[in-house]
């Protein structure tokens, strides 16, 4: 890419980030009693906050309730950069109370029961919250306890994982301390937050070991339950080439099931084994970055709102629940075939708002979500592949160049520009993805 083109793209993106810095008074009301709302939003992650902040502008004060127990909100796309030593955890954190707009009512409790038949949610403190419409935005939880021995290994500092604010700051010191041995990076079989993240940190670690002049002493292995490097062939092929060129060993359809702390061994299940129980293989490790299975939170997973595998059962086009017309969903908790990313939430948010407005007015739902999602794949310090695609795993690229090629400008987009767009655009209800920009820069998306 020519330097002039790169400069123009960064300038446009930077101005976009600045354009999102519009004043918005953020001062949610803290709920103290029994509650009834026009719309209740369960979850205060990216999907929940942007939805609540959009709706309160339409419905007015006291009409939108948000059930979210956490006082802290994290910009999780930074976790790779925190694990890679580029950012600090404090760079990713904001107070939940500061993110919800004036007029929203924040209920700082957890949803314990969904009762769609009675249009109510019961919290873990026994509070009944009634609604006319419900937006489920619970996200998904990281089940470290589903890998035997993993919680103990994490607490002992033997294993690291970028998938929790509790552990993410331990990753970079562990990377920097390794001088020899075997380094293993895992990915489970089931859907996770940002499907590319388990290998993003691997490329940064491998790069750091080259910088530290110890790479020749370290065997780097990527062991994944998936059948390929990535869900979209164009980007999967590019990542396979990068892994091969950097001497990274890849093993597919193999999932971590146990960590033995004392012997520093990782046990993996062979996904396609036809034995009962399935055959396993054990690897010794000196460094292990573990990513366990994830799922919706228990209260949602055991409710009447989910499909057979425990995800919110919605129409993938309208985001309306398949059985309850006054229930909608957004984000990672949905059972739609789209990668679980903040970029997907941004695109879903526009569809959700328009269809929810139609439902509130008793009108047909006409807005359509095409499955757009994006995954900024860090492949080195200063290099990144920006994967963008739709439900059909067809690339839907915003910029007028091949985004499967490693790019320095895309690295700076992730490192310096995407976070301001998130905090000051998406969460304030001002950013619904790059669709309009794509129509100008790259109308075909290919």
Catalytic residues: 194, 375
Look at the alpha carbons of 352, 354, 359, 365 in this order and tell me if their dihedral is positive or negative: negative
Tell which residue, 57, 88, 86, 90, has the closest CA to residue 73: 90
DSSP state for residue 422 in the 8-state scheme:
I
274 by Cβ neighbours in 10 Å (0-12 / 13-18 / 19+) ranks as exposed
Tell which residue, 165, 173, 23, has the closest CA to residue 90: 165
Neighbours of 368 (CB within 10 A): 13
Angle of helix 197-211 versus helix 233-245 axis, rounded to 10:
20
Instruction: Tell the residue number behind the tokens 């859907």, with chain if given.
Output: 191
Tell which residue, 247, 69, 77, has the closest CA to residue 162: 77
Q: Supply the DSSP string of 87-100, one letter for each residue.
A: S-GGGGEEEHHHHS
Q: Please, how many CA atoms are within 13 Å of residue 145, restricted to the half-sphere of its CB?
A: 2
443 by Cβ neighbours in 10 Å (0-12 / 13-18 / 19+) ranks as exposed
Task: Calculate the CA dihedral of residues 309, 310, 315, 317 and round it to 10 degrees.
Answer: -90
Task: Calculate the CA dihedral of residues 237, 141, 86, 261 and round it to 10 degrees.
Answer: -90
396 within 8 A of 388, measured Cβ to Cβ:
yes
Find residue 218's DSSP bridge partners: 181
């Amino acid at each position: 890419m020519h330097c002039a083109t790169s400069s123009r793209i960064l300038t446009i993106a930077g101005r976009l980030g600045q354009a999102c810095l519009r004043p918005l008074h953020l001062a949610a009301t803290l709920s103290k009693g029994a509650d009834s709302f026009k719309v209740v939003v369960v979850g205060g992650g990216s999907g929940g906050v942007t939805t609540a902040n959009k709706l309160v502008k339409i419905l007015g004060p006291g009409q939108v309730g948000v059930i979210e127990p956490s006082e802290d909100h994290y910009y999780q796309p930074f976790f790779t950069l925190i694990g890679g030593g580029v950012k600090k955890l404090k760079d990713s954190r904001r107070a939940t109370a500061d993110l919800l707009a004036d007029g929203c009512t924040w209920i700082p409790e957890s949803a314990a029961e969904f009762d769609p038949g009675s249009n109510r949610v019961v919290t873990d403190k026994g509070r009944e919250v009634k609604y006319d419409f419900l937006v489920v935005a619970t996200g998904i939880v990281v089940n470290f306890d589903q890998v035997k021995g993993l919680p103990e290994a994490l607490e002992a500092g033997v294993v690291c994982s970028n998938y929790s604010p509790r552990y993410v700051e331990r990753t970079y010191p562990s990377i920097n301390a390794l001088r020899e041995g075997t380094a293993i990076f895992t990915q489970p079989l089931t859907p996770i937050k940002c499907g590319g993240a388990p290998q993003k940190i691997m490329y940064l670690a491998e790069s750091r070991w080259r910088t530290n002049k110890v790479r020749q002493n370290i065997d780097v292995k990527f062991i994944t339950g998936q059948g390929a490097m990535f869900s979209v062939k164009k980007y999967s092929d590019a990542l396979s080439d990068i892994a091969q060129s950097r001497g990274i060993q890849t093993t597919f359809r193999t999932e971590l099931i146990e960590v033995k702390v004392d012997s520093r061994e990782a046990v993996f299940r062979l996904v396609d084994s036809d034995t009962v129980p399935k055959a396993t293989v054990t690897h010794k490790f000196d460094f292990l970055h573990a990513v366990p299975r994830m799922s919706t939170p228990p209260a949602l997973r055991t409710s009447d709102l989910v499909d057979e595998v425990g995800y919110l059962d919605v129409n993938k086009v309208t985001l309306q629940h398949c059985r309850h017309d006054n229930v909608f969903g957004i984000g990672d908790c949905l059972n739609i075939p789209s990668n679980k990313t903040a970029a997907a939430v941004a695109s879903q948010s526009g569809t959700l708002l328009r269809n929810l407005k139609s439902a509130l007015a008793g009108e047909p739902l006409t807005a359509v979500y095409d499955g757009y999602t994006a995954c900024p794949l860090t492949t080195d310090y200063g290099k990144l592949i920006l994967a963008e695609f739709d439900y059909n795993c067809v690339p839907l690229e915003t910029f007028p160049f091949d985004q499967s090629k490693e790019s320095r400008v895309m690295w700076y987009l992730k490192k310096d520009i995407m976070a301001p767009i998130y905090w000051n655009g998406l969460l304030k209800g001002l950013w619904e993805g790059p669709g309009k920009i794509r129509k100008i820069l790259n109308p075909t998306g290919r």
